Amino acid sequence: MPLVAGVDSSTQSCKVVVRDAETGALVREGRAPHPDGTEVDPGAWWTALRAAVDAAGGLADVAAVSVAGQQHGMVCLDDAGAVVRPALLWNDTRSAGAAADLIEEAGGGETGRRFWADAAGSVPVASFTATKLRWLARHEPANADRVAAVCLPHDWLTWRLAGAPGLDALRTDRSDASGTGYWSPRTGQYRTDLLERAFGRVVRVPTVVGPAEPAGHLAPGVLLPGPDSGGGSPGYRNPPGDPSPGSRTGPLLGAGAGDNAAAALGVGARPGDVVVSIGTSGTVFAVAGAPAADPAGAVAGFADATGRFLPLVCTLNAARVLDATARMLGVDLDRLGELALAAPPGADGLVMVPYLEGERTPDRPTASGSVHGLTLHASTPAHLARAAVEGMLCALADGLDALLAQGATAERIILVGGGARSAAVRRIAPQVFGRPVVVPPPGEYVADGAARQAAWLILGGAAPPDWAVTGAEEYADTPVPAIRARYAEAQPHVLDRVAASSSPPASV
Ligand SMILES: Nc1ncnc2c1ncn2[C@@H]1O[C@H](COP(=O)(O)OP(=O)(O)O)[C@@H](O)[C@H]1O
Ligand SMILES: O=C(CO)[C@@H](O)[C@H](O)COP(=O)(O)O
């Protein structure tokens, strides 16, 4: 009964699961929080990973570990392997202007968007690593000059687990490489010309390893309790010039994956499935046999973690819309759900357009959220709670339409992520999507997908081991098209954000 571990280093927290490699049975798990913010010292992820591993009872008995993580975040390393500046995360919108510039420089408009969709699978938006590199080159030239390598959150954590053994040992996988903007899902190769276009020069990037290939070995002692070297300056554990990714005797490290690709692996998504994930981001994605290239920019043409493809739509505003609305109403998430279900479908015309962090799909990086249709009758906590759930789901339903327009089929819609723990979300989703949704039991499907990849690595074979996901429940209801119609009317009418006040609001 070999054991394997999977890690999900996501936006809000780090989760670790330890599972039986053959059956997939859960043996133990742990988690630890991440700091808030869209700019984070990678050292905080390392600290959280160590704490989550500790809470999961350690990794002394596992045969392999894979790390999945939030996509796109820019982790820049200098020649000595130290982090150059805090990572800019996928939901940091400061590089929106850089995205527009990259499209303009490629011919602008439809020509520029088509260039990027064909070359990198996706049209640049502020989320992608390439645009963050452009921002760094323009706004922090001294930091840009120090960059010797750029990698992603999961690449960096895998490298730290290997003992930070030199920049040559950086590894990534297809799914996360496909979110950089300088890797082609169609050819499976880096486009260093696009990296140079974005950053002004070519820097080192992680080697892309196949879905069931090793990325190194867990370095002895790297997770033992004791002083943590943090993220700033891990330094080299191996002599400079020794490119071996860590010790050759510890548990194997898997290639890892972007968190959405890992979720697809964790829920066992197959062609015909559309997964809707409601975490910090809202994502709608499908497993596909061919790469997507959407010049409109709504669908990102990512690769998956099995050798196939993962066309995906992402919104910046999902579970935190519920957090924010619960905060406004002074209730917890369970009560928010009860309130939402107490109001009628359509919330008597009250609509929330939930662009609380700007928005990525549609591309409205400077937008703020809005509430429309206020009347005396609809001015109740229940109506606002309902409008929040419906608005968040309407944005995802628009994503589903975009995915279907790119040729995906939705024989089954699978709902996952922290937001799927809400009974209101599960029950309102079929009304908004116009189709039933399947909800697997609450779980950490990104970490599970990473663990399944680790099991594939040690068991071998042409496909990952069969780990049955049992106990899924179907939620069905009569579609209520009026909810989306009213949302479509309200959606274009939002204000731009104003700069946040530096002082906290006075307590009431
Ligand atoms: N019972 C619940 N009802 C509604 N939302 C929930 C519930 N439990 C957790 N969440 C939401 O889950 C979110 C975290 O989801 P998760 O998928 O772990 O995010 P991420 O992977 O982006 O860190 C939180 O913002 C929280 O609002
Ligand atoms: O940017 C994307 C996908 O393109 C996001 O899905 C991030 O990968 C963050 O994921 P979560 O932390 O919300 O799971």
**pLDDT for res 244:** 47
Q: Whose CA is nearest to atom 22 of ligand 1?
A: 280
The residue whose CB lies within 8 Å of the most ligand 1 atoms, and thus the one to mutate among 334, 421, 427, 448, is: 421
ipTM surpassing 0.95 = yes
Q: Of all helices (H) and strands (E), which one includes residue 31?
A: strand 26-33
Q: Of all helices (H) and strands (E), which one includes residue 20?
A: strand 13-20
Express each pLDDT in 18-31 by its tens digit: 999 999 999 999 99
pLDDT at 230 over 60: no
Q: Identify which ligand lies nearest to the alpha carbon of 417.
A: 1
Q: Is the dihedral of CA 441, 400, 14, 267 positive or negative?
A: positive
Report DSSP letters for 147-176, one per residue.
Answer: -SEEE-HHHHHHHHHTT---GGG-EE-HHH
Express each pLDDT in 414-449 by its tens digit: 999 999 999 999 999 999 999 999 999 999 999 999
**pLDDT for res 241:** 35
Express each pLDDT in 55-76 by its tens digit: 999 999 999 999 999 999 999 9
The residue whose CB lies within 8 Å of the most ligand 1 atoms, and thus the one to mutate among 67, 280, 356, 448, is: 280
Binding residues: 71-72
Give bridge partners of residue 20 from the DSSP assignment. 3
Where are any strands of DSSP class E within 220-332? 252-254, 257-258, 273-278, 282-286, 300-303, 309-315
Express each pLDDT in 236-252 by its tens digit: 333 333 334 445 578 99
Q: Of all helices (H) and strands (E), which one includes residue 67?
A: strand 62-69
Q: Is the peptide bond before 35 cis (omega within 30 degrees of 0)?
A: no
CA gap 39, 377 in Å, rounded: 41
Mean pLDDT calculated for residue range 260-269: 98
Per the CB < 8 A criterion, the answer to whether 271 and 251 are in contact is no
Q: Is the dihedral of CA 264, 268, 274, 279 positive or negative?
A: negative
Q: Which domains does the chain have, with CATH numbers?
A: 3-223+251-257 (3.30.420.40), 268-436+476-497 (3.30.420.40)
**pLDDT for res 1:** 81
Q: What is the pTM of this model?
A: 0.95
